[in-house]
Amino acid sequence: MKREDFTSEQARWQAVERRDAQADERFVFAVVTTGIFCRPSCRARRPLRANVRFYPDAAGALAAGFRPCKRCQPDKAPPEQQKAMRIAAACRLMASSDAPLTLAELAQNAAMSPYHFHRQFKAVTGLTPKAWQQALRVQKVRNALRKEEKVTDALYAAGYACGSAFYREADAALGMTPRQYGRGGESASVVWTLAPCQLGLCLVAQSERGVCAILPGESREALEAELLALFPGAQPSQDAAFDERVAQVIAFLDAPQGKWALPLDIRGTAFQQQVWQALRDIPAGSTLSYSELARKIGKPGAVRAVASACAANKLAVVIPCHRVVRGDGALAGYRWGVARKAALLAREAKVKKEK
């Protein structure tokens, strides 16, 4: 269907008659008998054509002396934008709250059902509200540890009810003990930047030792939160030399059958490192199952541990965890989404065929 331009009065009236939401933001209509103006999609009863006047926007209708309809709120931002604003408000609320907020509390504040709030939040930020708050708390601990002498004070300041809950999360999130972190933490030297790639947006981070994170995603906010959960001290890069290195990373991501030539900073347990090394030996265009991979590293019984090591990978494509599929050939999960995994495998299969 061609895009309607709603320039003629007749086209506008027809849009009003069919309550066409596509016409919202294109014009408003006012009713002289009630003195009220509406969006074309308003659910209120339709007026008589003879009583209707059209205005290009709310400002025009207001200037002509009409009042905005309470139902469709034509003087406010469109519903989609309002949703995004409510999510942004929720993010601010979480940032200023001392204790973690429940889904019910967040949803109530955003005037949405918990179900819709969760869905909307994830759609906008790429993270669940819970994961978002975890990332926030890690950041708070980071800031507090720099100032506080004692680790426990920092934990309470960041809203952790008890130390052990923190240590469980910190292990995964800080990547080092809080005490180490308080002493300056080596992740303080991590810099990062964003670049577009065929997978969407990509965050590339490097430490003094080499490239330490490659994270594909959709939004800057979500990627930054994901990185800060891994490397709490990471800073946006200001370095032109790093941009050149990032260009090399992106070139490899877009054509992973080529050769990787940059130093890597691979952090993980000995077992994870063993799995990741085995992953790097799988050539582009081939796949292995989790049990084949477990056999390959000489631990045939460790299939589940192998799968979680794959899921803990921080270097997308360079450590090709997307080349591991389930025993029956199904794609199974992928840290960065099954759709991305499918796209990567399809591209590699195509390149292999063309060779």
Q: Residue 218: CB partners within 8 Å, gap ≥ 6?
A: 126, 200, 201
Residue 28 CB, shortest distance to Zn ion, in Å, is 9
Q: Does 76 bind Zn ion (CB under 5 A)?
A: no
Q: State yes or no: is 202 an active-site residue.
A: no
Q: Which stretch binds Zn ion (CB under 5 A): 72-80, 100-108, 215-223, 295-303?
A: 72-80
Kindly write out the interface string for residues 4-43 of this chain, putting x where it contacts Zn ion by CB under 5 A and - elsewhere.
Answer: ----------------------------------x---x-
Q: Does 204 bind Zn ion (CB under 5 A)?
A: no
Choosing from 18, 71, 116, 150, the residue that interacts with Zn ion (CB under 5 A) is 71
Residue 87 CB, shortest distance to Zn ion, in Å, is 25
> How many residues belong to the site for Zn ion (CB under 5 A)?
6
Distance CA 67, CA 30 (A): 9
Residue 5 CB, shortest distance to Zn ion, in Å, is 22
Is the Cβ of residue 71 or residue 352 nearer to Zn ion in the bound state?
A: 71
Q: State yes or no: is 321 an active-site residue.
A: yes
Please identify which of the residues 42, 69, 91, 321 carries the catalytic annotation.
321
Query: Nearest residue to Zn ion, using CB?
Result: 69
Q: Does 234 bind Zn ion (CB under 5 A)?
A: no
- Residues forming contacts to Zn ion in the complex (CB under 5 A) are 38, 42, 44, 69, 71-72
Catalytic residues: 38, 321
